[in-house]
A and B are shown apart, each in its own frame.
Chain A
Amino acid sequence: MKTWKKLVSLTAACALGLSLLAGCSGTTTPSGTTPGASAGTEGDAGEGKMFNIVLTAPFTGFDPLRTNDSASTYVNAQIYETLYRINPETGAYDPLLAVSEPEYSEDGLTVTIKLREGVTFQDGTPFNSEAVKYTFELIQDPDFGSARASIAGSIESMECPDENTIVFHLLYEDGVFQAKLAHTNSAIVSPTAQQNQDLMTQPCGTGPYSFVSSVSGSNVVLTRNDNYWGEAPAIKDVTMTIISDESTAVSRMETGEADFMPKISVEQLSRVENNAGLTVTTSEAAQIYYLGMRATSSVNPVMAEKDFRTALAMGIDKEGYVEYMMQGYAEVANSVIGPKIFGYAEEAENHNIAYDPEGAKAILDAHPGWADEEILFLVPSTPVYSRMGEYFQSSLTQAGFNNIEIETMDWSAWLTESKVDGRYDITLAAWSNVTRDGSELMEPNFHSVNGQQRVRLLPEDAALVDGYIDASKTTSNAEVRTENLLNCNAVLMDEAYVQPIYNSTNLFCYSNSYTGITLDAGGTFYILDFDYAG
């Protein structure tokens, strides 16, 4: 009997322990966000209906200065605003928190911007030039940990002559400056809020939506900001839920538990294409995928030969890839700077090395031994890249290359090793940037100031490219900038260092109960523009 008593008391102790644990961390859902209490199935569209968005990647936090993963950007784009915003049709920088174009001084080192009046942050603090100055100083602060410190890299100092004017004093004439002011990592934050709370979990901006609640790794709830300076959005309450498995996310769309899926991959299309309640559509994106080559491979001297690289470029069947593997949901890229990027002109495409397996074979035949050279092809093991890697390996083999070796590594390892490891000859890479500016494309990827690179140029070409990139950055004259960017593009393409493959399109899906749903070229959406259908 004594044994049983002990047993019972021990079990009771364990149960108590467990329930304490359960109690102190609360229930697994925040109040007001029970699933199934969502849209789709309740009555007809109108006020009070929760707009449910499903994300396939987790957000990391709500501080726009310290996060730049796409999921966090989706959330922050509703809560915060920047001084300028890219117009999705024209590509121009429309004033948002600014009211007019920036005024440049003669030498380009002083930039004056007039700010919008009557704007308040969601905590009631007024928006003014002090807030702008505060934000940029924060970005520059080495102890702060901003995700894109280079945004404020050209700023020497700032002045606030009055509440609604901000003056930037630059270190050099910065051609990319206005683009940087449209970058989501330069959104203006409330100084009071930033000092008193952690924006990562309690955001505060000037945007049309305010933060309500969030469960880490699970969801975030937003609501309409009734003190917003602009036109009030039609949709009042928004929940963004993380469902990291795409096929499960799509089934939420099918059952109506979710209304909008900002990113859906081509493979899931067959499930939603014929669904009467859903619309699937694309918008042009500014993301380019390319094949990068190394002329200075540590083990393979043949890569220094321009003809060899040209033959490699000729072996890439881009059209076939876009047509078959992407089912046409992408645009073949014929230049490093794509049509949606600043610095593009049609003539950029004239330097394209087209797919030409016969031409490649001819080059290889003319040089004995070239066809059997071992080419080490580094491919990150993510689904998107490994699919490309296999396809192009077979495409190159059909063009006469007998010895293309694929080496794969996981994404995180690839991010560093692709720059540091000197052994491989070619790799796949991509670029996209919210600013959609050509200098922002060229510099991190091709300028030698970055040290070891994924794409490695021969010294004379590297000097040329560096020169063009620097020239494009240090002037605000659009024509001069474009000219330099085009020259840079020409070198990279003519000397066959880069073979652009495709410009992605944003594929997304939404319920027919809504209208006005679009994505900009960076893949960001603004719920402000959405409305109920009918």
Chain B
Amino acid sequence: MRRYIVKRILLMLLLLLGMSFIVFASLYIAPGDPATMVAGPSATEADIEAVRASLGLDRPFLVQYLLYLKNLLTLNLGTSYTSRQPILDEILVRLPNTLNLACASMILAVLVGIPCGILTALKKDKLADNILTTSSLVGISIPNFLLGTLLMYVFSVKLGWLPTGGMTHYFWTATGFKQAILPAIALSTATIASFTRIGRSAMLDVLQSDYIRTAKSKGLKRKTIILGHALRNALIPLVTQFGTSFGGLLGGAIITEQVFVINGVGTYLITAINNRNYPVVQSTVLVIATIFILINLAVDILYCVIDPRISYE
């Protein structure tokens, strides 16, 4: 088990290394020049060259890349071209906002998706099942930026109940809740839909298994059967889905941040891509990928823990 974790971590480092090189190289060959972006459109050629030299862009590609890697070892994620500040600091200011949104959405998805999944399994083929299943299909069909905009229109513009964006407090505070609820709903619909579907099929499989039939024949109450036994087994595929969904949530958060004007990592990344702010793009992608891989690793371990039947060599 320990060897497995170590192997996975090594694999993760290798992946991150490869990704950093690809990102670095791809931005290097992309059209557009950070020095011109920083110097502005009214600059003379001499001004642009001066900025270029100060950013270290006149050094060869490999030198720049190796320097970047060396810095990574000391957790120095580099310096932003525009603000000249350590990127790690800038990310740390923004990361709580993104995680705030992602967590709020995940909690919402769990609270709504899993019960829906169980319900549709228990009421299979009845009206409730059809409605909920079709709703979940509709849920994955609406792009989250569209849903976010529509929610904003109804609740912020027309009704004025909720603010039109921004995020200044955590979602468990009163102000923070009002700020987070709309983006969380917009972001979580796809995850709710997938939890519902997977919960449904997992629950159905389990309910039809011999194990449960035995319990039923033993005369145990239906409620005990469901909550005690079936649920625990149905949780297993849901846990796997958790990891995949979190990736989707991180990706979706990037977009939702644009809609609701949230100062998070997604906005940071998009602005940096537009400005050819290479170091910011590299480091932000690296940070997001690391979080994402760590969550998946945690999920794999959790999976192992929940189901002792599974073992890894």
Q: Do A and B touch, yes or no (CB under 8 Å, in the complex)?
A: yes
Assess whether B298 is interfacial by the CB under 8 Å rule: yes
Contacts of A413 in B (CB 8 A): 31-32
Q: A28-B169, A251-B164, A410-B274 are in contact. Are A60 and B93 (CB under 8 A)?
A: no
Closest residue to A252 on the B side, CB-wise? Answer: B164
Contacts of B22 in A (CB 8 A): none
Q: A147-B40, A429-B41, A450-B45 are in contact. List 9 more A-B contacts (CB 8 A).
A: A10-B301, A21-B99, A34-B175, A146-B50, A200-B84, A412-B276, A413-B31, A443-B44, A449-B45
Assess whether A3 is interfacial by the CB under 8 Å rule: yes
Contacts of B96 in A (CB 8 A): 21-22, 25, 27-28
- A245 vs B54: C-alpha distance when bound (angstroms): 32
- A216 vs B44: C-alpha distance when bound (angstroms): 29
Stretch from B122-130, B213-221, B302-310 forming part of the interface with A: B302-310
The digit string for A59-72, where 1 denotes a CB below 8 A from any CB of B, is 01101001111000
Contacts of A29 in B (CB 8 A): 168-169
Stretch from A156-164, A226-234, A347-355, A430-438 forming part of the interface with B: A430-438
Assess whether A142 is interfacial by the CB under 8 Å rule: yes
B274 CB contact (under 8 Å) in A7, A215, A412? A412
Assess whether B94 is interfacial by the CB under 8 Å rule: yes
Assess whether B225 is interfacial by the CB under 8 Å rule: no
Within 8 A of A (CB), among B240-287: 258, 261, 263, 267-268, 271, 274-276
Contacts of B37 in A (CB 8 A): 412, 415
Contacts of A147 in B (CB 8 A): 38-40, 47, 51
Assess whether B92 is interfacial by the CB under 8 Å rule: yes
The digit string for B76-89, where 1 denotes a CB below 8 A from any CB of A, is 00000011110001
Interface-centre pick from B31, B37, B306 (highest chain A CB count, 10 A): B31
Assess whether B36 is interfacial by the CB under 8 Å rule: yes
Contacts of A443 in B (CB 8 A): 44
- A127 vs B95: C-alpha distance when bound (angstroms): 40
Give the distance to chain B from A349, nearest Cβ to Cβ, in Å: 23
Within 8 A of B (CB), among A429-463: 429-433, 440, 443-444, 449-451
Give the distance to chain B from A412, nearest Cβ to Cβ, in Å: 4
Question: B165 contacts A432, CB within 8 Å?
Answer: no
Contacts of A411 in B (CB 8 A): 274
Within 8 A of B (CB), among A16-75: 18, 21-22, 24-25, 27-29, 34-36, 58, 60-61, 63, 66-69
Q: A7-B302, A25-B92, A412-B276 are in contact. Are A430 and B41 (CB under 8 A)?
A: yes
Question: A412 contacts B165, CB within 8 Å?
Answer: no
Contacts of B100 in A (CB 8 A): 28
Contacts of A61 in B (CB 8 A): 82-85
Give the distance to chain B from A422, nearest Cβ to Cβ, in Å: 15
Interface-centre pick from A28, A146, A413, A416 (highest chain B CB count, 10 A): A28
Contacts of A124 in B (CB 8 A): none
Assess whether A96 is interfacial by the CB under 8 Å rule: no
Assess whether A169 is interfacial by the CB under 8 Å rule: no
- A172 vs B150: C-alpha distance when bound (angstroms): 62
Assess whether B167 is interfacial by the CB under 8 Å rule: yes
Assess whether A248 is interfacial by the CB under 8 Å rule: yes
Tally of chain A residues near chain B (CB < 8 A): 67
Assess whether A516 is interfacial by the CB under 8 Å rule: no
The digit string for A217-228, where 1 denotes a CB below 8 A from any CB of B, is 110000000000
Assess whether A143 is interfacial by the CB under 8 Å rule: yes
Give the distance to chain A from B119, nearest Cβ to Cβ, in Å: 24
Closest residue to B273 on the A side, CB-wise? Answer: A412
Q: Which residues of B contact A (CB under 8 A)?
A: 31-33, 36-47, 50-51, 53-55, 82-85, 89-90, 92-97, 99-100, 103, 156-157, 164-170, 175, 258, 261, 263, 267-268, 271, 274-276, 298, 301-302, 305-306, 308
Question: B47 contacts A148, CB within 8 Å?
Answer: yes
Contacts of A21 in B (CB 8 A): 95-96, 99
Question: B33 contacts A415, CB within 8 Å?
Answer: yes
- A3 vs B310: C-alpha distance when bound (angstroms): 13
Question: B84 contacts A145, CB within 8 Å?
Answer: yes
B263 CB contact (under 8 Å) in A69, A148, A217? A217
Question: B170 contacts A245, CB within 8 Å?
Answer: no
B268 CB contact (under 8 Å) in A201, A217, A409? A217
Closest residue to A214 on the B side, CB-wise? Answer: B93
Assess whether A153 is interfacial by the CB under 8 Å rule: yes
Give the distance to chain A from B5, nearest Cβ to Cβ, in Å: 13
Assess whether A243 is interfacial by the CB under 8 Å rule: yes
Contacts of B90 in A (CB 8 A): 216-217
Q: A27-B170, A412-B276, A444-B44 are in contact. Are A144 and B302 (CB under 8 A)?
A: no
Closest residue to B302 on the A side, CB-wise? Answer: A10
The digit string for A196-209, where 1 denotes a CB below 8 A from any CB of B, is 00101100000000
Closest residue to B100 on the A side, CB-wise? Answer: A28
Give the distance to chain A from B46, nearest Cβ to Cβ, in Å: 6
| 4 nearest A-B pairs in the assembled complex, by CB-CB distance | A145-B54, A412-B32, A149-B50, A450-B45
Q: List 9 A-B contacts (CB under 8 A).
A: A28-B96, A28-B170, A147-B47, A198-B84, A217-B94, A243-B166, A248-B261, A251-B157, A252-B164
Question: B31 contacts A143, CB within 8 Å?
Answer: no
Assess whether A417 is interfacial by the CB under 8 Å rule: yes
Contacts of A243 in B (CB 8 A): 165-166, 261
B305 CB contact (under 8 Å) in A6, A69, A244, A252? A6
Question: B306 contacts A142, CB within 8 Å?
Answer: no
Contacts of B38 in A (CB 8 A): 147
Give the distance to chain A from B288, nearest Cβ to Cβ, in Å: 14
- A443 vs B43: C-alpha distance when bound (angstroms): 10
Closest residue to A22 on the B side, CB-wise? Answer: B96
Contacts of A417 in B (CB 8 A): 31
Closest residue to A185 on the B side, CB-wise? Answer: B47
Question: A451 contacts B261, CB within 8 Å?
Answer: no
Give the distance to chain B from A247, nearest Cβ to Cβ, in Å: 8
Interface-centre pick from B38, B89, B95, B156 (highest chain A CB count, 10 A): B38
Assess whether A515 is interfacial by the CB under 8 Å rule: no
Closest residue to A244 on the B side, CB-wise? Answer: B261
- A412 vs B274: C-alpha distance when bound (angstroms): 7
- A22 vs B96: C-alpha distance when bound (angstroms): 6
Assess whether A14 is interfacial by the CB under 8 Å rule: yes
Contacts of A28 in B (CB 8 A): 96-97, 100, 167-170, 263
Question: A216 contacts B83, CB within 8 Å?
Answer: yes
Closest residue to B53 on the A side, CB-wise? Answer: A142
Contacts of A150 in B (CB 8 A): 44, 46-47
A245 CB contact (under 8 Å) in B47, B261, B271, B302? B261
Question: A68 contacts B40, CB within 8 Å?
Answer: yes
Question: A217 contacts B47, CB within 8 Å?
Answer: no
Q: A415-B33, A416-B31 are in contact. Are A201 and B85 (CB under 8 A)?
A: yes
Q: A18-B99, A416-B31 are in contact. Are A149 and B46 (CB under 8 A)?
A: yes
